[in-house]
Amino acid sequence: MIEHHLDIPTADGAMNTFVVHPEEGGPHPVVLFYMDAPGKREELHDMARRLASASYVVLLPNLYYRRSRDYYLKERTEAQMAVMFEHMRSLNRATTRCDTRAMLAWVDAMPAADARRIGAVGYCMSGPFVVWAAADFPERLACIASIHGANMATDDADSPAAVAAALRCETYVACAQTDIWAPPEHVARLQASLEQAPGPHRIEWYPGTEHGFVFPQRAVYHREGAERHWERLHALFDRMLRRAQ
């Protein structure tokens, strides 16, 4: 595997990004990996490597680059959680559009990447981000996955539960059984919107899981659920990216 730690230029600055892809056999389909709230860290690098090992170019950007190049949540103290939430609140549909546009331009110029075949996955905080990315770049993203996405149904005009009705790509949504950030009534609103969308969708509940269950370094890690999520991701990307020539 080839790994890069590099800066992708955006309209707002230099977005430090982890890029990983196979050494041979390219050009490979692309997966945009949108991080969760605790920030870009080695735990996510390992997840990006696992995706890339199935013959993808994976981009994992630090979405907090406007505020910090190296932030990640080291301890879940009240003070550190407050900083994390400040970082979270700095991101929205406009910043997602800016960052996604920059990543798309970068893979367009990357020899190892097949920029005709692009998917995206977002975890927790970034569940809405992949919906926004697909809505704003409908010609570029073939599929998206939101894994225990947070705040998927709010009263904002840009709420994923409103935006999702326009999605043309295939959408997969993985929901934890217990999740204060995505209670059943919010998921129901999202589902109602997706049912109006031109593209296909699947919403799947993961029994016995809590928010954050896919991350192996979390106390709530649920191995069975995490492995199911990997199975679903690989199936989605294989169907929509690898077989799409």
Check which CATH number belongs to the domain holding 62 and give it.
3.40.50.1820
Q: Which range of residues forms the domain containing residue 69?
A: 2-242
Query: What is the pLDDT at residue 75?
Result: 86
Spell out the residues 6+ positions from residue 175 whose beta carbon is closer than 8 angstroms to its own.
148, 182, 187, 203, 204, 205, 206
For residue 140, which of 164, 168, 161, 163 has the smallest C-alpha distance? 168
80 by Cβ neighbours in 10 Å (0-12 / 13-18 / 19+) ranks as: middle
- Summarised one tens digit per residue, pLDDT across range 170-180 is 999 999 999 99
How many domains, in total, are found in the chain?
1
- Show the tokens assigned to 161: 């539960």
- Summarised one tens digit per residue, pLDDT across range 16-48 is 999 999 999 989 999 999 999 999 999 999 999
Phi, then psi, of 96 in degrees rounded to 5: -65, -40
Query: What is the pLDDT at residue 243?
Result: 76
Helix (H, G, I), strand (E, B) or coil at 242: helix
